[in-house]
Amino acid sequence: MSQRITRVAGPAAQACDMASSFMGEVVKLGAMGLIGEVIRIEGDIATIQVYEDTTGLMPGDPVERSGEEFSVELGPGLLGSIFDGVQRPLQALASGWGNFISRGAQIPRLDRSAKWEFQPKVTLGQMVNGGAELGHVRETELINHKIMVPHGVSGEVAKVFAGARTIAQPVAELADGTPLYMRQKWNIRKPRPVGKRLPSTRPLVTGQRVIDSLFPIALGGAGIIPGGFGSGKTVLEQTIAKHSEARIIVYIGCGERGNEMADTLEQLRELSDPATGRPLMERTILIANTSNMPVAAREASIYTGVTIAEYYRDMGYDVVALADSSSRWAEALREISSRMEEIPGEEGYPTYLAGRLGAFYERAGKVAVAGRPEESGSLTIIGAVSPPGGDFSEPVTQASLRMASTFWGLDSQLAYQRHFPAINWRTSFSLTHRAMSRWFTENVGEKWPEMIAKTQAILQREEELEEIAQIVGADSMEERERSALEAGRIIREGYLRQSAVHPVDVCCPLPRQLKTLETILGFIAAMDAAVGRGALLEDIITSPLVERLLRLKEAPPEGLDSLIESLREEYKTFFDSLEEK
Ligand SMILES: Nc1ncnc2c1ncn2[C@@H]1O[C@H](COP(=O)(O)OP(=O)(O)O)[C@@H](O)[C@H]1O
Ligand SMILES: [Mg+2]
């Protein structure tokens, strides 16, 4: 073979005599066997994205073709793992190769020696197609892992091997002799097939009040979190990872600093599954491509993560994939593109930036599983976006905005005031909120939509009045208007604001959101009525009742109902006594 490197430019390389190669082919470069992927072919010249540091790689060095597409390995052993952007296990690398990934390191992605107790579901003579369930193994204490027939394979089951098996041993064999394993491969850039896309009519409950109440994300929806430095993107992504109702979590740390990734890992390791007390890592997969790791692998990391997420979706789970930060991914794309000397688009990003982002978010969805139409699963994708200087008009935020159905815009001003999550209720939106309103009515409460509309109206009124107050001064406002401003403050402080560290407040289940909001709105209505009848606002806001109302969200769940009941009685007595004056 005379395939040779002709040029090296950062994370990109070119090789000649590559006319018979194909897009996405895995190649090994140089004596060290650096891993790369063919991303362009022109005549007999191939451009290769190199997933490792290319220092020392020279024109003339050999190129070895694999004939295979760049893919991830899917099978038991994924959960609890930490991989780099091209699915090399970081724990294994850390123990065997030192803390840094040695270049050209050849390490299996999934453990070849671990044994899994295979419990078959198929029977001899059964006809199977891609996606059919062969059986399952218990991957962790929390999660059963369905072993599925790879897509594109079909036939009659001739042999089944129950019991302890490794992923290198077949668990079944088809009549034509095709062995079926617990592992399969999938090209990361190709969405896994689905049976059918299903409308998403329910939310992914996150336990964050401002999200679930005002800007809920659909189960299977796509959401973005744009925000300037320090506005709380990472904390919000971590909080959703820890407390949302998704069964499987894929966390993609993409181009952020290593210490942040270590912190995320620490947080996930510390926490246990609320229902069982088992470590959360038993249903989590981490993809870590920190800022000091090769940019080409960072570009691949979001696809690696989302492909693994789709695989668990195909088992019928509700999966959430969180990417922090998609802007760092876009920067990697920009760097590779510029090294390839492509014509740049806006702010140097390639012209296909929006297309790529769209293709990524489109992999979210609620679906009937391919090959098992009676089963459904979902993949919700949430991407943090870090616009330079917090300016949302830049290309990555704008392109993401068009793709996402839910937008949680973080506001530096709110973060500065320590109002977290710093989700700006004026700019944020959820396009699927309406489609989910029936679910909320049926599962949270008849009154819920009305309560939410009331809450939005209070915030809206506060905003209008604040503008007026700026002009005329709050002192010259009428009592009812000042009462409306106070109502806005109570909603913000007592409801929207939520601590990521307070043991109770950190996660607020929907039934509790209903009770809390009902109590708060009840108080506000009573306040408004009392002021309307001539009570002095001053007498109300100086009452310790307001403070207790604002702290309701921190009360332990045991005894919450009786606390709410006594609080309501007290404020009724209080407002009645005001009227008597
Ligand atoms: N929900 C929250 N509750 C309390 N503090 C928060 C919350 N969100 C963010 N913070 C504070 O803001 C800091 C910066 O948040 P971070 O998520 O790292 O910002 P970003 O990722 O946007 O740069 C955190 O270290 C924390 O002190
Ligand atoms: Mg961050």
| DSSP-assigned letters across all residues of 394-442 | SHHHHHHHHH-SEE--B-HHHHHTT-SS-B-TTT-EETTTGGGHHHHHH
| 391-407: average pLDDT | 95
Sheet with 155-160, side-by-side order of all strands:
127-128, 155-160, 172-174, 179-180
What is residue 222's three-state secondary structure? Answer: strand
The domain boundary residue, chosen from 35, 69, 103: 69
CATH number at residue 64: 2.40.30.20
For the Cβ of 227 lying below 6 angstroms from any atom of ligand 1, the answer is yes
Classify residue 336 as left (phi > 0), alpha (psi -120 to 50) or beta. alpha
Residues 365 and 217 grouped into a single domain: yes
Quote the pLDDT of residue 580: 62
Q: Judge if 282 and 330 occupy the same domain.
A: yes
Q: Is residue 438 part of a domain?
A: no
208 and 169 both lie in a single domain: no
Query: How far is it, in rounded angstroms, from Cα 333 to Cα 348?
Result: 10
The residue segments making up the domain with residue 519 are: 448-580
Position 346 pLDDT exceeds 50:
yes
**Ligand lying closest to the C-alpha of residue 416:** 1
Average pLDDT over residues 337-365: 95
pLDDT in tens, 349-359: 999 999 999 99
Report the half-sphere exposure of 417 (CA within 13 A, side-chain side): 12
Q: Is the CB of 233 under 6 A from ligand 1?
A: yes
Beta carbon of 235 within 6 Å of any ligand 1 atom? yes
Residue type, position 147, single letter: I
Residue 470, pLDDT score: 87
pLDDT, residue 224, reads: 98
End residue of a domain, out of 397, 431, 465: 431
With a cut of 60, say whether residue 12 has pLDDT above it: yes
Q: Domain of 262: which CATH number? A: 3.40.50.300
What is the total count of domains within the chain?
A: 4
Atom of ligand 1 nearest to the CA of 260: 18
| 246: confidence class by pLDDT, cuts 50, 70, 90 | very high
- Per-residue pLDDT for 108 more than 90? no
Q: Which ligand is nearest to the CA of 422?
A: 1
Are residues 420 and 357 part of one domain?
A: yes
User: Which residue's CA is minimally distant from atom 10 of ligand 1?
Assistant: 232
- Choose the most confident range, by mean pLDDT, from 7-21, 286-300, 462-476: 7-21
406 shares its domain with 460: no
Quick: pLDDT tens for 53-67.
999 999 999 999 999
Which pLDDT value is given to residue 92? 55
Confidence check: pLDDT of 99 > 70: no
pLDDT for residue 106:
74
**CATH code of the domain in which 123 resides:** 2.40.50.100
Parallel, antiparallel, or unpaired for β 406-407 and 429-430?
Answer: antiparallel
Residue 97 resides in a domain: no
Query: Among 34-48, 175-189, 251-265, 558-572, which is the least confidently predicted range?
Result: 251-265
pLDDT digits (tens, 9 = 90+) for 183-193: 999 999 999 99
427 and 494 share a domain? no
Most ligand 1 atoms within 8 A of CB, residue of 211, 229, 233, 235 to mutate? 235
Q: Ligand 1 within 6 A of 420 CB? A: yes
Residue 97 has pLDDT above 60, yes or no: no
Ligand minimally distant from the alpha carbon of residue 498: 1
Kindly tell me if the per-residue pLDDT of 98 is higher than 50. no
Q: Is the pLDDT of residue 442 over 70?
A: yes
Q: The CATH number of the domain where 491 resides is what?
A: 1.10.1140.10
Last residue of a domain, one of 153, 182, 211: 182
Kindly give the number of the ligand 1 atom that is closest to the alpha carbon of 238. 17
My answer on whether 253 and 352 are in the same domain is yes
Cβ atoms of 238 and 396 within 8 Å: the answer is no
Q: pTM for the whole thing?
A: 0.95
Q: What is the pLDDT of residue 100?
A: 54
- The percentage of residues in the chain with a pLDDT greater than 70, rounded to a whole number, is 97
Do 396 and 286 share a structural domain?
A: yes
Residues bordering ligand 2, an ion, CB closer than 5 Å:
233-234
CA gap 305, 397 in Å, rounded = 21
Q: What is the pLDDT of residue 96?
A: 45
Establish whether residue 416 lines the binding site of ligand 1, counting it when its CB lies within 6 angstroms of any ligand atom.
no
pLDDT at 94: 53
The 10s digit of each residue's pLDDT in 266-277 is: 888 777 776 778
Residue at 254 is within a domain: yes
Residues 269 and 388 in one domain: yes
Long-range contacts of 16-19 (CB under 8 A, 24+ apart): 16/44, 16/45, 17/44, 18/44, 18/45, 18/46, 18/63, 18/65, 19/43, 19/44
Model pLDDT, residue 123: 96
Dist. CA 296 → ligand 2 center (Å):
21
Asked if pLDDT for residue 387 goes beyond 70, the answer is yes
Mean pLDDT value across the chain: 93
In a domain, residue 98? The reply is no
Q: What is the pLDDT of residue 476?
A: 82
Examine the domain organization and report whether 274 and 417 are in the same domain: yes
Residues 56 and 172 both lie in one domain: no
489-542 pLDDT tens trace = 999 999 999 999 999 999 999 999 999 999 999 999 999 999 999 999 999 999
Quick check: is 324 in a domain? yes
Please check whether residue 106 lies inside any domain of the structure.
no
Residue 306 lies in a domain: yes
Q: How far is the CA of 408 from the centre of ligand 2 (A)?
A: 15
Note the pLDDT of residue 544.
Answer: 94
Is the CB of residue 231 less than 8 Å from the CB of residue 427?
no
Ligand that comes closest to the CA of residue 228? 1
244, 322 contact by CB (below 8 A) = no
pLDDT score of 252 more than 90: yes
Residue 53 lies in a domain: yes
CA distance 312 to 319: 7
The reply to whether 257 and 155 lie within a common domain is no
Q: Is 232 in the pocket of ligand 1 (CB under 6 A)?
A: yes
CA distance 243 to 280: 10
